[in-house]
Chains A and B, each alone.
Chain A
Amino acid sequence: MTSTSAALAGPHEHLRAQDRWRAIEVVFWLATLLPFLVTPNYLSLASQVAITALFALSLDLILGYAGIVSLGHAAFFGFGAYAAGILSKHGWGEPLSGLLFAGIAAGLLGYLMSFIIARFRHLALIMITLGFGLLLLEAANSAGWLTGGADGLQGVRMWPLLGMFRFDLYGFTAYWYSLILLFLLFLVSRRLINSPFGLSLRGIRENSTRMRAIGAESRAHIRKIYTISAAMAGIAGGLLTQTTETVSLGVLDFQRSADILVILVLGGAGRLYGGLIGAIIFLVARDQFSGINPQYWYFPIGVLLVVVVLFLPGGILGGLAQITGSERFQRMVRPLMVWRGKSP
């Protein structure tokens, strides 16, 4: 098998093997273009899926790879959302620079937070991130002069993207804008994870004491990845503000932190595509179920979650990997592989 042979050849070989693009990945990214052709009426939903996927990816970097549990990641999402919104309200509605501003603002906040985060693990982290999220929500609520308080920020108006593409009612611009950003930041994350830095993050996740014992700078690594993750969450928040031209306290809500955790667990934490798949399934299921019954649509979602957690502990992608990795499956597909000239 590739993984064992790569491991024998040393970590650099292993990383290089991981970094190679697989056919299924190319298919996945090509499939993200389908909504333009197949379901042009669902583009605004598609853009929210892309934004949520980006947010989930940012959480995956810290939770899935570095093992930093967070129940308050919406803090950075919301901070970015408000940063982009407030900038636009005060007369600068250029989307790209606004997004950069949102990313930097959230990244800075993440950097400051990371000094606390790097000192704790597990349960203490849950409490700290939860508390931090609630504090930021209350701060935004009471700073009505800046955030508009409970009514939401008024007067967010975006200029056309690149001076040409207006954010239209059909969500056409919104989707390709969000999709391109998701793809770019996905590339960044992919590169990051398949680097020695990414490997040491996984080391921290598995055994942080031992990492320190072998001389790895655990805390510095955690600070770095936390800042990057916060900036990415901020960009996702900024995207939401820009594509919907609204911001309210909902972006900082605990519910958002919890939902994104659910999405990641559903898709599979610690896998780059976990958050993406989770976001697609969660939001499409929500859209469909709430269309069928607007009142009790949470029920089927709950059932879905229970089933996934019970039968696929590694999330949907983890489960799939388990199935495809099993002896029986290998035996089943071996003839096909041979036929395609790819003997394993």
Chain B
Amino acid sequence: MKKRNLKPLLFLLPILIFSIAFVYYPFARVIVNSFSLVNAKGQLKGFAGLENYRYVFSRGDFAVALGNSLKLAAVNVPVTLFITIFLALLAEKKRRLSPVYETLFALPMSVSMSAACMIFKSMFSPALGWVNYFFGLSLGWFESRETALASCLILTIWMGIGFDFLLFLSALRGIPDQLLEASELDGAGLFTRIFRIKLPLISPTILYVLCTNFVLALLTSAPMIIITQGGPARSTTTLMYMMYASGFGSSDYSLAAVVALCAFVLSLGFTILSFVFERKRVHYQ
């Protein structure tokens, strides 16, 4: 009996050791920083209680940053889910050209975030970009208050498509044939088959994509750092960008810690909520 109890811990041990050493140990430092006065050299100068939290929450740009982050997540998650599931359904059946378009759908994942930022910045440049030129538009894209956040969304959604598509594709292809054949015999239509049979059967993957995409969207920072610098006029200032600019860039490590903790709590909260939903709705065979 005793041996049984130790074994799972043995399997967990490697990942736990590294989680603690390289994530939770530095994270504990982040928590300490959030309650302390920290100087520009990163040294603790005293206990601050909740003062840092009060300061951050009272700053006008915090609400803006939180709002923008939530907007990004709120749009990114459903849109990515919709696009990738649609693509996976489209590609599910094996056809002669399958290898070609499957590869096309998945390729965006091979581009690095920073490279993608540079490509998009150049493509969407208001003055010299191909997009405005080709479609005869005069939009400011990343450079105008109205469109900057939407442009960042386009970029991050594009970045996420490849990987999620592959996961959904392998999930769909893995649905046992008997189930589908049975439903076909029952005379179920295309939509019934998709919504009643396929989606429930790939719900484990949906849960995964839902959670990870929310976290990724909330932690998005590269397009803001590389392209927009949180602007114009804070229109793309997200929590993570605030952590960079107001935290690291302005040597305020307490602020960086508070903002990072906010993102952490939001992510964890969302994930736990999703797992409550898992108990009710996710089907594992």
Partners in one complex: no
A contact set with B: CB distance below 8 Å: none
